Structure 1
Amino acid sequence: MEREKPLVLIWTDGSGSRAAPPRLEASRRLIKAAGATPGPLFGLAGDREFYSAILAQDLGFFTRLLDVMTSALVDNLAEQIVSDPIEEYSPVHDLCSMISTLAAQRAGRILKREIRHLDFDIEFRGSRTRVQQPLEAIVLSPAQLERKASAVAGATELSFEVNRLLQIDPGLLDREALYDRPSGLEALKAPSVTPQYEIAAAPLVASGVFKTLITYRDHIGPLVSGLVAYQSRDVRA
């Protein structure tokens, strides 16, 4: 963010599936400290509201996201978008990637040029299911690493997630990597195995913590099909 100073869009307020305190202000501080700009989509709703929209198959909820993201790309004459990856770990992360693909395609038609779509690892850093070298890999300098570590330490609202990821990868903070997303339908294909979000949530549904299991077949796939049909229109929202 320090180098590119992007416009940053954030879908959820970071409250998670169990309604923890929102983390938007911590995100806002980090974004501004890096010289980037919070965008027109900044914490639209809580994570649980996103899950409810998925379960309800509320296509309009997600087409609004697509519209705002498309407009942001067009209005800022964007050349690329960087999004969450598809890791089959979080249905919201996966939808973010898919809708980013569609927004880039739709905005590209309006601007009459390609908008590149990149992503980065979140949960499975360095162990992608697809064999792919990063488009760009950056090892932070000592000064950059110090600034990053200081910013993370100051964002106490994010400490649980940061510490969890650091346990998985102790070198999490010292490097960055961006990957090219596939284009077209390749970027939207169904998973070949049961997504991790289904496997992880199944015991919680069985024990009554959650009422319904979000699955690709019943929930994510149909939403993606509806979004593909919606974005194929050539009218700017």
Structure 2
Amino acid sequence: MKPLLLIAHPGHELRVFEWVHRARPLVVMLTHGDGSIGQPRLDDSRRLLARWGVEVRSDWLSPVSDSVVYQALLGTGASPFQDWLDRLTQAALDADIDTVVADEAEGYNPSHDLCRVLANRLVMRLREAGREVRNLEIPLVGHPCDPARDEQVEIEVRLTEAEHQHKLEQMLDYARRCSPVLLVEVQTMLDSFGTQAFARECLYPASRTPYEEGRLPDTLPYFERVGEERRAAGIYKDVIRSRHLLRLVTGVGDPG
């Protein structure tokens, strides 16, 4: 198996920490992970992955600032999406990639959802080129191995007690070093699901997003609701909405 792990932000690899350790995928990250606080964490992920001989393939796709993605979505900057797709397609063909693992679209962050669309488009192109490619997704804010989804699991990794403890330590250490915002997110996940939930890692068959079907999500995404709240509080000037994602993905719609 020659897997590619395609993620929107550095740190997402921690969700499948042991799978990465065992599978040694090629890793591509769309952004530096600087977010709204301007504190990149790409180097932290590079150092973490390098311990296992896993390289972030910046030669395949050079990570950009989160602001580049946000400006592309808002229509105030050029979109890197088509260039990303073209470059990844050729690189994946050359490397004979047979499995693509990427973020699940959960409506939490627009970059996560965009990453899922990119992965789906990439797999579609590879299949059109005659390659047999599995397309898998990992939850980032939802339960890492939701019991209600057990029948859907395509790859499952069960961690030993020692592996589990090491993973928890690495998650918290990474978050403490990178940003207080990330630390809160990690601690919230641990509190919500319990630490034992992270003793399993589940990779699921990927789903199509509503954007690829030319429609908006049935429910208001979290990122849009929070964006509205922060604009009302004077924190954000502009709100990224689901229609911006739809426009970027399909080229249809008003960017405003």
Please indicate the TM-score interval, normalised by the length of the shorter structure: 0.7 to 0.9
Show the counterpart of 2:194.
170
Distance 1:216 1:186, change over 3 A: closer
Counterparts of 1:141 and 1:157 in 2: how far apart (Å)?
A: 27
Give the aligned partner of residue 82 of structure 1: 101
| 1:100 match: secondary structure | helix
Relative to structure 1, is the Cα distance of residues 59 and 200 closer, same or farther in structure 2, using a 3 angstrom cutoff? same
Match of 2:157 in 1: 138
Maintained 8 Å contact 1:137/1:176: yes
- Aligned pair count? 223
Alignment partner for residue 222 of structure 1, among 247, 250, 253?
A: 247
Q: Deviations over 1:168-221 (max 9, x none)?
A: 3232532200000136x878343111111111110111222111111112x100
Residue 134 of structure 1, CA deviation: 1.6
Equivalent position of 1:205 in the other structure = 231
Q: Which SS does the other structure have where 1:209 is aligned?
A: coil
Identity of aligned residues (%): 29
CA distance in 2 between partners of 1:129 and 1:203 (Å) = 31
Contact 2:101 2:136 in 1 (8 A): yes
Structure 1 residues 100 and 128: alpha-carbon distance in aligned structure 2, compared to 1, 3 A threshold: farther
Q: How does 1:6-17 map to 2 (within 5 A)?
A: 6-17=25-36
Report the secondary structure of 1:38's partner residue: coil
Gaps of 5+ in 2: 1-19
Report the more deviating stretch, 79-88 or 123-132.
Answer: 123-132
Larger mean Cα displacement after TM superposition, 26-35 or 57-66: 57-66
Gaps of 5+ in 1: 228-237
Distance 2:249 2:149 in 1: 21
Distance 1:223 1:129, change over 3 A: farther
Residue aligned with 2:162, SS: helix
Secondary structure at the aligned position of 2:80 is classed as helix
- After TM superposition, list the pairs within 5 Å mapping 1:103-122 onto structure 2: 103-110=122-129, 112-122=130-140
Kept in 1: contact 2:102–2:119 (CA 8 A): yes
Which whole-Å CA distance do the structure 2 matches of 1:99 and 1:221 have between them?
13
- Asked if the contact 1:198–1:215 (Cα under 8 Å) also holds between the matched residues in 2, the reply is yes
Q: CA deviation at 1:32?
A: 1.6
